[in-house]
Amino acid sequence: MSEFIKPIFTSNDSTDFRLLTKTLSDTPGYNQNDVPNMLKATNDAEALKSFLIGYQASTLTYQTYVKELERLVLWCTYVQKVSISDLSFDDLMAYQSFLGNPSPQAIWCGNKRAKCNKDGSFNPMWRPFASQLSPVSIKKTMSILDSFFNYLVQTQYLKGNPLSVNKRRKKKAHNEGMERWLEKSEINIVLDSLHEQLENKTENDFVIIRAKYIILTLFYTGLRLAELTNHTMGDFTLLEDAWYLKVIGKGEKPRKIVVVDEYLDALIAFRQAIGCATMLPAFEESMPLIPSQDKITPIHRRRIDQILKWSFELGAQKLESLANSQHENSHKLLHRASKLRKASAHWLRHSYGTYLVKSGCPIEKVKTLMGHADISTTMIYVHIATNDLHDSAQGLTLKEEA
């Protein structure tokens, strides 16, 4: 191996793909399609270039994808000795393990340095990684690679997505873990606990009012946490006398979420409580959807996580208090308390999907409202909302007929 890894792009936002062409082999891999593709790509470099060019309008996304695909190409070149179209599922599982422990560390990891010197030559101090990746970062990387391979399959450059096996395994595990949502009674106990805090004046009023509003917003809109922090009151829009929330979601995809009457009431109550000039959002109003007390600065994801954990803890404590006085239901109440302590923002998104289905909303419309790319993801909520196994099995008994 070379004493240092040479980058294939001169900078993170480079549009010069000549180095990429030199790095990747022209030899077709086993997975390269033998029929004409929609990219008119004859090799891996041209296919990868086409994928990246499609993201140039979104600077941050483009820079992230360049970084991740550069790392993959360098690993293919220096470690695995395979081309993009020759990657198998086993290769990519090896790469996933490598991300958690790049070896040798001295060659792959180091302090952040420019890729090139001022004269344009390679900087031998540059490294592809600052350090080994965390499990969360690895998951994000593999998700990006999955999107990349899906693109190459959809455009008929590759025969199949080598990550599809792993995707099926994850889907199975996801289905089995779909108890990670909150029932209405559990959400209401949290809201009641916050209301008690407000009456007892144990916290700053604004903090409690905003905590309730965050929970109601997540339940009534199904927003992802990143979406919650990236929008403003101006994203509420009135169309033909009906209110919607316009969202730019995962993959920069826009969608409109119906603002139901109960949530509109909650929005009005929140704005009145914090002293907004109008009951409902003004056109293109700049106040963040979830504001700080100054009503100008948005709060960050980590702060929302903290607020939710605090709120769910209050709900858990209330359930434990009820368990002490309701002995016949104590085991159920204690179970729900332990569940609340595990809950997160995404659990409220799952609650949104579940109760949309329970309310009779057609599955295609649920898919649209949640911003799912694949209907199979949405179908999970059908299985939860229509699960009658418990009632169906109640006839089982060991008692003899009289």
Q: How would DSSP label each residue in 142-176?
A: HHHHHHHHHHHHHTTSBSS-TTHHHHHHHHHHHHH
Helices (H), 230-329: 261-273, 301-325
Per-residue pLDDT tens digits for 209-243: 999 999 999 999 999 998 999 899 999 999 999 99
298 bridge partner residues: 291
d(CA 131, CA 111): 8
Domain ranges of the chain: 18-173, 184-387
- Cα separation of 319 and 331, whole Å? 10
d(CA 208, CA 231): 21
CB 52 within 8 A of CB 66: yes
In this prediction, residue 13 carries a pLDDT of 44
> 162 near 88, Cβ under 8 Å?
yes
What mean pLDDT, rounded, does the chain reach?
A: 87
Q: How far is CA 364 from CA 55, 75, 178, in A?
A: 27, 40, 20
Structure token digits, residue 240? 């033909």
State the Cα–Cα distance between residues 76 and 83, nearest whole angstrom. 6
Angle between helices 345-358 and 375-385 (to 10 degrees): 70
CA nearest to 348, candidates 224, 192, 170: 224
- CA atoms 15, 252, 137, 69: torsion sign: negative
Counted residue by residue, the chain has a size of 402
What value does the mean pLDDT take over residues 378-396? Answer: 69
Looking at 2.40.50.100, 3.40.50.300, 3.40.1380.20, 1.10.443.10, the CATH number of the domain 184-387 comes to 1.10.443.10
Assign 331 to helix, strand or coil. Answer: helix
Instruction: Calculate what percentage of the chain has a pLDDT beyond 70.
Output: 88
How far apart CA 336 and CA 342 sit, in angstroms, is 10
Whether the pLDDT of residue 110 is over 70: the answer is yes
| 88 vs 122, more confident | 88
Contacts of residue 83, defined as CB under 8 A and 6 or more positions apart, other chains included, come to 24, 25, 27, 28, 29, 44, 76
How many degrees, rounded to 5, is the angle at CA 180 between CA 175 and CA 186?
145
Per-residue pLDDT tens digits for 26-57? 778 899 998 889 998 888 989 999 999 888 88
